[in-house]
Amino acid sequence: MTDFLFVDSGTGGLPYLEHLKKVCPAASCVYIADNKNFPYGTKSHAQIVECITGTLEKYIPLYEPRAVVVACNTISVNALEDLRAHFKDLPFVGTVPAIKVAASLTKTRRIGLLATKATVENPYVTALKEKFASDCELILRDDTDLIDYIEKKSFTAAENENDKACLPAVNFFLEKQVDAIILGCTHFLNLKENFQRVAKDKAVIVDSREGVVKRALSVVNMNCKAENFSETPSRLIITGDKKDYVEVCKRYNLVL
């Protein structure tokens, strides 16, 4: 049995896994990079549900997780309820844009959401905005090209190249007086420091790691102070091509 099974279309959810292991080193984790179906963000609702359900039907029986962390905003806003209905006895923790956090930090009352096309167009985002940021203007931007860059190039690129890749999105929001930018696709968190460096002190970069990890640990009542445990690297499962994941494994202490 495994404590947590993480799933994303690729490397996006790894910062969430990393944060959980920092908070709770005793947790055993398996991470599925479903790059066979990458990118999820350009797929229809029905396609997203079909892809993620098929992937989890294969791996849940193999690893018997106590909980599944859907470390992908696109999958979460499109398929979380479907997954909970399909795998009835298994807790699912979703990842949704941190609109509530951004609303608490903005001074201009203009917040930005950088995400996939499937996320920014989903009515769930509008509902989050009305619930947690009704007095704010929400500026939306989808960026498939940047997600593709992060997945395929960022781990071997120089820091200045990654800064340059983040610049168009940051400038887009700064030009609209946005002072809180939400990383609404988990892939972007791999470059959070780059985003913040480019934005300087003009905007704060917001993500949902803390809330997601806190929720994941609570649903399984995880004992993070467990004694006599042997911490081992988390296992990485890749559903498609494995050739681009050597540097990823080094960075996040993963084993294939």
Select from 94, 93, 73, 208 the least CA-distant residue to 147.
Answer: 73
Q: Cα angle at 11 between 7 and 15, to 5 degrees?
A: 85
Distance, CA of 71 to CA of 183 (rounded, Å):
13
- The residues pairing with 141 across neighbouring beta strands, listed in sequence order, are 114
Tokens describing residue 159: 């820091």
**Is 24 annotated in the active site?**
no
Q: Do residues 143 and 114 make contact, with C-beta atoms less than 8 angstroms apart?
A: yes
Q: Which two tokens stand for residue 1?
A: 């049995």
How far does the chain reach from its first CA to its final CA, in angstroms? 18
Choose, from 29, 51, 136, 185, the residue flagged as catalytic: 185
Catalytic-residue membership of 185: yes
Q: Which helix (H) or strand (E) holds 168?
A: helix 159-174
Catalytic hit among 51, 72, 136, 166: 72
Contact (Cβ atoms closer than 8 angstroms) between residue 18 and residue 207? no
The Cα–Cα gap between 172 and 120 comes to 15
Which residues is 31 bridged to in the sheet? 6, 236
Residue for token pair 């979380």: 80
Q: Which residues are catalytic?
A: 72, 185
